Chains A and B, each alone.
Chain A
Amino acid sequence: MAANLMNWLDERLGWRSVWEAIFLRKVPHVNWFYTLGSATLFLAVTQGITGILLTLYYVPDPAHAYDSVVYITTQLPMGWFIRGLHHWGASAMVILTVAHLLRVFFLGAYKYPREITWITGVFLLLIVIGFGFTGYLLPWDQKAYWATTVGTRIIGVAPGIGEWLLRVARGGSELSAVTLARFFGTHVWILPASLLTLLGVHLYLVIRIGISAVPEKDE
């Protein structure tokens, strides 16, 4: 019965070839460092889920952002937990992404034929940092406000276009409701969309080319 169903589905979806290509592909013997990439992927999914849950209650407006975060943390059932996961997940994300990068670097995995995988990986790291930077402002507490004030000011030192860049980042000369809306929009729309796109390419390449083998001493 089950087999019939599987066959029926396979005739229509071709899932077996997908399954074979992704899950039954042979992989060289690798060590535990090779789990860092998938752990990062797992975290990205966790951040996505907790982040979506947080947006149900978060209000991206200076008048209510802080109160909504306090509400999530103190009143909402399990709100403290979801926010705790998202908060610490952000740091873990940075750590794991960098660790993954170092693993790839030291094992020479960025070399032929995986150059593009590496480049997409570097962009993914930048996106993760972007997530951290934009997400930091959202609670609109003292730390958020002032860290973002100094953070965005750094953009302003760029010669010539610094002033303009600063205005773009803040949506004005000062941190304001526009800044918050801008950071929120970036955090929940622009960055996730970029992340998904690049992650798609990254994973496609990992599966297509295969995960690199641990180099022998003579390699």
Chain B
Amino acid sequence: MNEQEKKSYLQRYKEAKEKGVPFFPDIIFKDAVVSLIVFLILVALAYFVGAPVEERANPNDTNYTPRPEWYFLFLFQLLKYFPGNLEVIGAMILPGLFVILLLVLPFIDKSPKRHFRNRPFASIAALAVVGGIGVLTVLSVMEAPPPQEAVVVDHAAALYIKNCANCHGENIDVPPSTDLHQVIAAGTHEGMPAWGGDLSTDEIDQLVGFILSPNGSAIYVQQCETCHDQMVQAVGNPLELQRVFREGENYPGHEGVDVPDWNETLTTVERNALLNFLAAPDGQRLFTINCAGCHGQGVAFAGTEEELRTLISQGGHDLAMPAWKGTLSESDLDTLASYVTDPQSEPAGDVLFGQHCAACHGEKVPSAPDKESAIQIISRGGAHMTMPLWGNILTQEQLDALAQYTFEVSRGEGTGLGATLFVEYCTACHGQFGEGGPNPSLAGDIIPPISTSEYLTTREDTTLRNIIAQGQPNFGMSPFGDEHGGPLDSTQLDALVAFIRSWESNPPVDEPPIFQTETPPPTPEVTAPTSEPVPSLTGGQLYTIACASCHGAQGEGGIGPAFNTQEFQDQYDDRALFDIISEDHTATPMVVWGEHLSDEQIQLLVEQVRILGGAIPTEPSTVSFSGQVVPLFQAKCQVCHNSQTALGGWDSTSYEAVTTTGNSANVVIPGDMLNSVLAQRVAGTQGAIMPPSGKMPDAEIQIILDWIAAGAPEN
């Protein structure tokens, strides 16, 4: 372009501009229209197609076929024509040259021609490039492997591996009547965290299904997941599942869907595995889904478990219950029906029930939804024509689980709730198996076992219930019933009683024999000198364990006299003190410490009494919280006791949390070793020893005890 041409172009452009329109509003209107159309297209795409998210990136998955975004596909395709050492041509040189060409284009093409027909070479070349890119893109799409089949991932298995396998290994053996869902959601008290917060209900259901039927999970992935990508979308109701299998493509939900004949494609074993996965053989949940609608919380049954199993599998058709209409008068029928519907409303029904029904039904009254159906069932006998033949519906495993659970419930042994409550509220004092032990709230007192048949046969449920509800203030047991200010409601009390009662016929196997003896040794905490578990204690610690509950933590007195008075200190010399501590005091509740403590320990106590009296200055605490205690917490406690997973409600991650958290009481009570749960647990004097992996070395326990004894300072 020479000067002449430049000038002529500028002139022409000036004229075109003068004949033109103002940018606002004419041009801007057109721009706005196009922008709006573009935006609407985007909105439609976002709404109808959405932005996809694939599986989380997995660097180990070498099977994944990588594909770049579509606008890089042509480059991707181009590379295929430059294999090996030539790759650099397709990857670098050609694209690089092309970009450079674009950049210098105005300087290469200096001709004044502007209309595309007047510069055929440039136009054709550009068309060729555009066409080439288009062809390469199309080729790339066509050569691409068929869109990846939905990556077959067993979600349930993945959940298990991620969350459970670390502790439980490859699989878990679960007793048939376990409410596994509850166990996973709430955790157990053996160090298993509660997953309810981290996993959704559906995920827990998947896990339950997987744990109880891992094969079923795999079959589900193969057969169902194409359509039911979330397990939620498939039913968990055994009746419905059987229908799906039976009806195949005629099943309403599968209408128009190309489903195989399940009975042909799957073997019986596979079908059962799948059914077990979808409706896990978990007695409690099966009962809730299938039976609770008619039977409420439980059924009454007096026969054996085998009979119950037969009954469940045969359904209501073959029940041998006679037709009571005719045998009983109308009014008796009416009374019975009322009684069955609501036992409280018809006390007279009790007698009738005992006469006619208890022989088969046992003492537990069957429940009926309303009086009308109760009358029908009683009159007609044979009962429950509507009860399905569960034997044809449930898998063997499901039937076993359901029968066992129902049987246990009918025997009042549906003790899941009671067991949980017992662990939560009772084991601290009564031990895991009700074996009793030293009374933490009353030094020197030993709680007798409550799980022996002797104890249980001599106490009725009502008595047990009252003891739990009202507590035993004389023995330091606080009331647990909510009517008395405790945490448990009526149902929970009943469950707890039922659990304790279950020991009568089924005494706990792991009961430690030591507390079974008639004369258990008093205060095992202070058996230190003879056995070895308690580390050698300082005078302060001994005092806290042995004396503080009666004489006060600082010797201020209580049941026993105060030590911190000049009068007391003057009254006895060391020798007298030593004798008082070690000898019998028949007139007072004071323990004969000479039987439990060594002379050295009693001497330490004497010194401690003098310290409290002000005679000897307290030695300053030498334990450093940040330097010694925190590292111990980090190493031994924080896995389970942190701000996220605070088992027992205790968070050991900060000073504030250490001293203020804990489910039943603050775990650390400064200066009070007797009542600090932390001290009890690490020293093994009370409750399960911590950490669960085994006792810490004595030196480490000493650090924690010293720290608490020194008032748990934040130093």
User: Chain A residues in contact with chain B, CB under 8 A?
Assistant: 22-30, 32, 34-36, 38-39, 42-43, 46, 62, 66, 69-70, 73, 80-81, 83-89, 91-92, 94, 96, 102, 105-115, 118-119, 122, 125-126, 129, 132-133, 136, 139-147, 149-151, 154, 157-159, 162, 174-175, 210, 212-213, 215-219
Contact = CB atoms under 8 A, between A and B. Distances in A.
Nearest to B30: A35
Given A22-B23, A84-B47, A118 B9 contact: no
Given A139-B53, A142-B58, A162-B88, 15 more contacts: A29-B16, A34-B30, A38-B31, A80-B46, A81-B46, A84-B47, A108-B116, A112-B9, A113-B6, A142-B54, A142-B55, A145-B59, A147-B66, A217-B117, A219-B113
B70 A215 contact: no
B41 interface: yes
Contact of B116 (A35, A107, A149, A213): A107
B80 interface: no
A126 B100 CA distance: 12
B692 to A, nearest CB: 29
B462 interface: no
A46 B42 contact: yes
What 4 pairs across the A-B complex have the smallest Cβ distances? A84-B46, A108-B114, A146-B66, A145-B57
A119 B30 contact: no
Contact of B38 (A43, A81, A157): A43
A151 B42 contact: no
Contact of A24 (B22, B56, B69): B22
B20 A141 contact: no
Interface in B104-134: 105-107, 109-110, 112-119, 122-123, 126, 130
B130 to A, nearest CB: 7
Interface of B: 1, 6, 9-10, 12-13, 16-24, 26-28, 30-31, 33-35, 38-39, 41-43, 45-47, 49-59, 61, 64-72, 75-76, 79, 87-88, 91-92, 99, 102-103, 105-107, 109-110, 112-119, 122-123, 126, 130, 151
Contacts of A28: 13, 16-17, 19-20
Contact of B105 (A81, A110, A142): A110
Contacts of A125: 102
Given A83-B51, A84-B47, A66 B103 contact: no
Contact of A108 (B16, B56, B119): B119
Contacts of A91: 69-71
Contacts of A73: 50-51, 53
Contact of B21 (A26, A111, A115, A126): A26
Nearest to A105: B126
A46 B39 contact: yes
B20 A149 contact: no
Nearest to A45: B35
A23 B22 CA distance: 7
Contacts of A88: 42, 45-46, 49, 51
Interface centre among B21, B57, B117 (most CB of A within 10 A): B57
A103 B114 CA distance: 12
A114 to B, nearest CB: 8
Given A28-B19, A157-B91, A215 B126 contact: no
B57 A111 contact: no
Nearest to A30: B27
Interface centre among A24, A38, A129, A146 (most CB of B within 10 A): A146
Given A24-B22, A43-B38, A150-B68, A80 B51 contact: yes
Contacts of A126: 99
Contacts of A212: 13
Interface centre among B1, B18, B43, B66 (most CB of A within 10 A): B66
A102 B112 CA distance: 18
A118 B23 contact: no
B51 A115 contact: no
A119 B103 contact: yes
Given A110-B105, A157-B91, A38 B43 contact: no
A24 B23 contact: yes
B30 A32 contact: yes
A198 to B, nearest CB: 13
A109 B21 CA distance: 19
A35 B67 contact: no
B17 A27 contact: yes
Given A84-B49, A106-B123, A92 B30 contact: no
A62 B28 contact: no
Contact of B64 (A81, A102, A108, A142): A142
Contact of B24 (A23, A80, A129): A23
B16 A213 contact: yes
Interface centre among B41, B72, B79, B118 (most CB of A within 10 A): B72
B498 to A, nearest CB: 42
A85 B42 contact: yes
Interface centre among B1, B27, B59, B103 (most CB of A within 10 A): B27
A32 B116 CA distance: 17
17 contacts: A23-B22, A23-B23, A26-B21, A29-B16, A84-B42, A84-B45, A85-B46, A87-B46, A88-B42, A102-B130, A108-B115, A119-B103, A149-B66, A151-B68, A151-B72, A213-B20, A218-B118
Contact of A87 (B51, B75, B99): B51
A150 B17 contact: no
Nearest to A147: B68
A91 B42 CA distance: 10
A23 B28 contact: yes
B300 to A, nearest CB: 47
Contact of B114 (A70, A175, A215): A215
Nearest to A213: B16
A39 B17 contact: no
Given A142-B54, A142-B61, A213-B17, A219 B92 contact: no
A145 B53 CA distance: 12
A85 B43 contact: yes
B88 A157 contact: yes
Contacts of A162: 88
A86 B46 CA distance: 9
Given A32-B30, A84-B45, A141 B22 contact: no
A8 B313 CA distance: 93
A110 B12 CA distance: 16
B109 A111 contact: yes
Contacts of A27: 17, 20-23, 26-27
Nearest to A29: B20
Interface centre among B19, B54, B126 (most CB of A within 10 A): B54
B88 A158 contact: yes
Contacts of A175: 59
A69 B87 CA distance: 35
Contacts of A215: 114-115
B56 A141 contact: yes
A73 B46 CA distance: 11
A32 B115 contact: no
A144 B91 contact: no
A96 B30 CA distance: 16
A106 B126 CA distance: 8
Contacts of B88: 157-159, 162
Contact of B57 (A62, A92, A112): A62
B324 to A, nearest CB: 58
Interface centre among A88, A118, A144 (most CB of B within 10 A): A88
B86 to A, nearest CB: 10
Contacts of A151: 68, 72
B102 A122 contact: yes
